Amino acid sequence: MIHTDFLVIGSGMAGLIFALKVSDYGKVVVITKKEDTESNTNYAQGGIASVFAPEDSFDTHIADTVTAGAGLSNRAAVEIMVEEGPRLIQELRELGVEFSEVKTPSGKTFDLGMEGGHSQRRIVHAKDFTGREVEKTLVARVRSKENVRVVDNCLSFELITDENRCFGAWVLRKGTLEGIFSKFTLIAAGGCGRVYYHTTNPKIATGDGIAMAYSKGAEIRNMEFIQFHPTSLYGREIDGRKLLISEAVRGEGGVLRAKSGEAFMEKYDPRGSLAARDVVARAIDSELKCRGDEFVWLDLSAIGAKRIVERFPQIYSACLSLGIDITKQPIPVVPAAHYACGGIAVDLNGRTSIEGLYAAGEASCVGVHGANRLASNSLLEALVFSERAAQNVLERIGEKVKLPRTKPPSLREEMVGRETVERLALQLRKTMWEYVGIVRSDERLAAALKEITELRESIRQLHSAHRITVRSAELNNLAAVALLIAKCAIERRESRGLHYNIDHPERDDVHYRKDTVVRDLREAS
């Protein structure tokens, strides 16, 4: 048994920022499923959106965010995120994050990029590996703290709760269950992109935090709003994930073209290739279906070879290793599941509906993204609201916490076969891609709910009858998240942002300008 003041589940930006902020006030344990740099943060290419340009303003960034959110953004949360952003990005630079800069007559300043949905250049970046640079710096800082213990290759299996209060978590490490008791617990376990057959997310993005919180009766919000990134590399994968082609490529002048060479985005939106992600993803999906093509081209010729290599070295190298020289030829791209705008419902201080349990980053839903996330607002949200969660926890550090008597879940002897787990996971992911993808219908969603419910029951029976493994636990979590996405999608009988239903193609503000909330207390019994 391990006792600590703060338990952090996840090692992306949200978890690491929280750990740093509280580390001077108590003991911190950070648990992560893989090595400490493996997270969705690590794969964020674009950057962090924030107001630094003289011609930009908080009001403009707020307006762009709210417009992308299609009427569901929590304006108070958006204002906090936008206004706190510049200060915290400067803090990251002081911690050692090497953001790209340009020389001006008055000195150096951020080399601000442009991305879809933004009306100004405001993307602070480190070329096209911003997430990796941020993650590397934060991991080094956290590892230097004497009060912080980072536990790698450790799966958070089940929250320890009693009378709607969280006291830590049971974790699976080296085949055994260990209890970590804590005064306060932060879920920063990232997203759930692996619930879809095609995704830009790494293998660890299996929705563990969302599933764990839901199983204990936490309120979950807006899971129907899954963002499909418009441009992932077609036909090739790296370690089971689609290679993301950053939106910043289009911000620098990249143009989407059909296989015939025709630029098509202006038919769908006056912003063309720089329209918001939901618009671009649906447009590509429509073009592929209408034309019978497998992919569209992303043409970078207007950017120029020198600028491509200078601005996008990671994308250039990765594509070159796969046989595509993006300085000379267009990139074949298709949409892929990328980001969950919904998640564990939290207030402006990161507090969930379970006392003592906080959430931040992609696993949470504070409401800034509404029905569609604006490009490069994800790292900004993680940065701002993980700090706010830390501040709130520190205000409560003196509270007395009496630990309950509890015992770990039982571990059976017989393990479920890996082939069985992989087969069920593949079936689940294909069902989600086919029926709960970019374009939905009542019939497809009903079919999805039926298949997912049956699959989930089979998975739960296997899970309860066999020894828990990391893969079987992840499969169980994926099934829970798939059910949440399908249920929320069925409840929203309109089209808004990332949720498009051909049977209800119009936005209905009268009945559906509200969050979709799921809180099944039967799961916690």
pLDDT tens profile 474-491: 999 999 999 999 999 999
Q: Does 37 have pLDDT greater than 70?
A: no
Q: What is the mean pLDDT of the chain?
A: 92
Find the angle CA(373)-CA(210)-CA(150) to the nearest 5 degrees: 100
Query: What does the pLDDT read at residue 413?
Result: 63
149 is catalytic: no
Query: What average pLDDT does range 337-361 have in this prediction?
Result: 97
The DSSP code for 191 is -
Query: What does the pLDDT read at residue 226?
Result: 97
- The CA-atom distances, in angstroms, between 404 and each of 7, 147, 163, 166 are 17, 25, 10, 10
177 — pLDDT class (breaks 50, 70, 90):
confident
The catalytic residue among 277, 351, 471, 496 is 277
Within 10 Å of residue 421's Cβ, how many Cβ atoms? 23
Query: Cα–Cα distance between 353 and 177 in angstroms, integer?
Result: 26
Domains of the chain in sequence order: 2-192+341-395 (3.50.50.60), 232-337 (3.90.700.10), 415-505 (1.20.58.100)
The DSSP code for 440 is B
pLDDT tens profile 361-381: 999 999 999 999 998 999 999
Instruction: With CA atoms as reference, report the closest residue to 374 among 149, 116, 136.
Output: 116
Helix boundaries (H) for 202-272: 208-215, 247-251
pLDDT tens profile 416-451: 788 889 999 999 999 999 999 999 999 999 999 999
Single-letter amino acid, residue 267: K
Percent of the chain with pLDDT over 70: 96
Rg (CA), the chain: 22
Enter the pTM of the model: 0.92
Question: What's the residue count for the chain?
Answer: 525
Query: What average pLDDT does range 229-244 have in this prediction?
Result: 88
525 — pLDDT class (breaks 50, 70, 90):
very low
Instruction: With CA atoms as reference, report the closest residue to 518 among 481, 479, 474.
Output: 481
